[in-house]
Amino acid sequence: MASLTPSILPKDPHTQIIFAGATLVLLIGVVFAVTFHSTKKRDEENPSAFTSFLRFFYASFLKPHNGDGLGEGQQAALESFYKAQAGVYDATRKRLLRGREDMLGLVAAQLVRKAASERTHDPKRIWVDIGGGTGWNIEAMSEYVDVPEFFSSVYLVDFSPSLCEVAQKRFKRLGWKNVKVVCQDARTFRLEDYESDIPGAVVSRSPSSYYSEDNGNVGGADLITLSYSLSMIPDFYSVIDSLVSLLSPTGTIGAVDFYVQSNVDLTCRNYTGGVVNRHVNWFGRLFWRAWFDVDRVGLEAGRRDYLEYRFGTVLSTNSRNTLLGSIPYYVWIGCQKKPASSLNTPNFPHEIVHRLDAAATESPYLSPINHTNALSRAVDNSTPPELRSKAFNAAIVNLSANLPLPSFFYQNHHWRIHYDDQLKKHTQFKNEYIYAFTWEDSRVDQRLLKLTSDDVVLAITSAGDNILSYALSSPARIHAVDLNPNQNHLLELKVASFTALPYSDFWKLFGVGKHPNFRDLLVSRLSPHLSSRAFQYWLSNADVFSSKRSKGLYETGGSRHAIRILRLLSHGLGFSSQIKSLVESKTLNEQREIWTKKIRPIIMSRLLSYLIVSQEKFLWAALGVPHNQLAMLEADHIAAETHTSPSPLEHTPKELNSTRGAAVWEYMVQTLDPVIESSLIGEDNPYYLVCLQSSYSQRCHPDYLKPKSHQKLSRGNAFDGLRIHTDEINEVVSRLTPGTLTVAVVMDSMDWFDPGAEAAATQIEKLNRALKLGGRVLLRSAALTPWYIATFESMGFQGRRVGARIAGGCIDRVNMYASCYILTKTEDLAPLTPKATHSSRGSSVDLEKLEI
């Protein structure tokens, strides 16, 4: 028989490939037929894995979708596709349809938060699952809420009779009486056909009437979900239009689906909730469109775009199913285009836009509820154009174009102020923060500032620790400012954690820096309290807290480089045990001995300083020391040696560079030796403890990590006065109403200016304008006498040095800076000259005319 084989097979290689392919298809068909007949009588909901795979493969890749004699149209096409695999649908989609659990967890978190504020004990809560198929979503929701108790009615709407039959069996088995399976075209589904107390005359609204006051009645669904169904609806425009009328004014809508999109499509869109990981490259767009088109799954960008256009975006994220070829999918949570926070205001969008604008600029706000429209317009016209927030400007642009407002307007909290995340000044940080913890001593700040409930504070965000410390004093307002969006994402996460988590979880996240269940907490507990961009960031970086390979939060960011070098040195040179002994020291004498004999000779090595620490790239990447600040400490070193001027302007770059190694080494000595001499690291110096062991301890941590602090800052209104600005200090200060700030904490940011630069004088002038008389600026510097103090004093401030590293002393527990100053405003400068503005920025824009 073997000798006959060559004569049977064709010799042409192309024919051989075709023959092999046909044989494979025939073999799969035979196996499928045999398996199908042998398992006919088995439970359709529990087929074997092999059977499930064969049916899925046959229905998806072999079986023609021609209607199977069921007629023409979408229902016949769906039934042709699903009938052969309805019983194995769930078993074959677990790995393919990723993100469904995330979507359910996110919408459940939104609903649970709303339920917590509801006054009625037995609210009527309706969920409509569009394209719900076998009912998997509804059963899976029980992981987050008790479906029979939480929802008064659940409607599964699907156009495939086979899938609906599986769903009916599912809910009969579960015994859930509140779930109704509706085999119907989603375009024609109306709640009033099933709910007696839903108004019958639901008027479908056209896109051009979104912001008008008389826009028809709105349906009563508290939740609408679309789980991998939007991509299978040919006429998706009409379905999305119908959902606008179906969703209640305060309802939530969630979607998860495949997509492909280019970042070119997203240029200048500020309402999408962020574009992190949204771009799909050219090959991916081409391949996945063609691949899914075989099964009539549409991946064109217009589906998602229209969904985002018709609703407001609350949360949005983009991911890849890496197990199956990196298929792009998104999870999106939305609400009605008219923000829920404006429902009780008769003058939307005038009310919501002006209220948030006033919160960002400290400008007076007159509610249209209590004042006439004419008076409100008079206030508009009297407000200088430069005092409008960037959120106001963006809202004007969107309303004039009938677009949804930026996603920040749809958040449950208005902590984060709108910013354009596509600007180069923000993208330059490449999705990384520099500081995972703050280097300013909050105890000293508290002693120097003595904040009260009347204070309005502006401070640089950094890692947010100082902002939280100020919040413990309950000032009237805190404006947190940082150009790096990721630093503000970290602050947002801390604020959300105060709001949503118990102390035990909060301590794991920010005391230990690790939490094995961080991703679950992010989705189910923290998400309602985060802006869309912050949520995207932490979902993409969840392994910071949860990865077993990660050292935790405090070894992330740019500052991780210095910590890792210290760890490598300690292990390589054999003094890691001495570091452990240092942080466990019970007395200063014990600590000093360990430092002097075991650690200092290595850490303070001149060779290490000259070769690594004094390198400008290392100073910037690991310690956040910019070029100009480095020049200031070099000039101070020269001044100490030669008794000349400490100003960098008095020395050439060559002179400064020639002393860098010695200057940096001397600066390290003046920083670290006094700290060891005066503060017990393991008991009362959390700033160095976290560097040495990458976590805090229960006995040594910043004030905001104390149980009493959590008790205070977890109250519902603890952060009502917080505003987080992602911008330069100048931009924020110039938009604040003059004379409203009482305190500005600028850390060491003035060191970053070019010595003698006009930009520094401009910022000082704007600070003077924003501060009231008697208002204070707190700053720290790498120089004992910074060059810009004289500029402050020439522009209406009186300077006072309140800390200096002289004769081996410490200015605080960190001791990282050479000096600390308080500049008190003693006189007003002349008002700034009004500048010409574009119409989109001008206060003469009448918002009421934009109510389309």
DSSP result, 323-339: GGT-EEEEEEEEE-SS-
Confidence of residue 551 (pLDDT cuts 50, 70, 90): confident
pTM: 0.84
Fill in the DSSP letter of residue 281. -
Write out pLDDT tens, residues 425-447.
Answer: 999 988 899 899 998 999 999 99
- Of residues 695 and 631, which shows the higher confidence score? 695
pLDDT for res 19: 56
What does each C-alpha distance from 822 to 99, 779, 789, 793, 819 come to in angstroms? 51, 7, 10, 11, 10
- Mean pLDDT lowest among 324-328, 475-479, 653-657: 653-657
What does each C-alpha distance from 390 to 354, 428, 735 come to in angstroms? 12, 20, 9
pLDDT for res 18: 56
Distance between CA atoms of 496 and 523, rounded to whole angstroms? Answer: 12
Mean pLDDT, the chain, whole residue set: 82
Distance between CA atoms of 747 and 462, rounded to whole angstroms? Answer: 9
- Mean pLDDT lowest among 38-52, 394-408, 472-486, 802-816: 38-52
Distance between CA atoms of 256 and 227, rounded to whole angstroms? Answer: 5
Cβ atoms of 238 and 224 closer than 8 Å:
no
Quick check: helix, strand or coil at residue 440? coil
Q: What's the average model confidence in pLDDT over 187-213?
A: 61
Write out pLDDT tens, residues 82-97.
Answer: 554 444 445 555 667 8
pLDDT for res 354: 67
Distance between CA atoms of 409 and 388, rounded to whole angstroms? Answer: 16
pLDDT for res 655: 74
Q: What's the average model confidence in pLDDT over 94-119?
A: 89
Domains in the chain: ranges and CATH: 100-116+124-205+216-337 (3.40.50.150), 341-411 (no CATH), 564-693 (no CATH)
Please name the amino acid found at residue 724. Answer: I
pLDDT for res 401: 85
Residue percentage of the chain with pLDDT more than 70: 77
- Of residues 272 and 661, which shows the higher confidence score? 272
Residue percentage of the chain with pLDDT more than 90: 52
Phi/psi for 844 (5° steps) reads -75, -5
In this structure, what token pair is assigned to residue 515? 């939490």
Write out pLDDT tens, residues 264-308.
Answer: 888 878 899 998 999 999 999 999 998 888 777 889 899 999 999
721 pLDDT above the threshold of 50:
yes
Q: What's the average model confidence in pLDDT over 377-402?
A: 70
Confidence of residue 50 (pLDDT cuts 50, 70, 90): very low
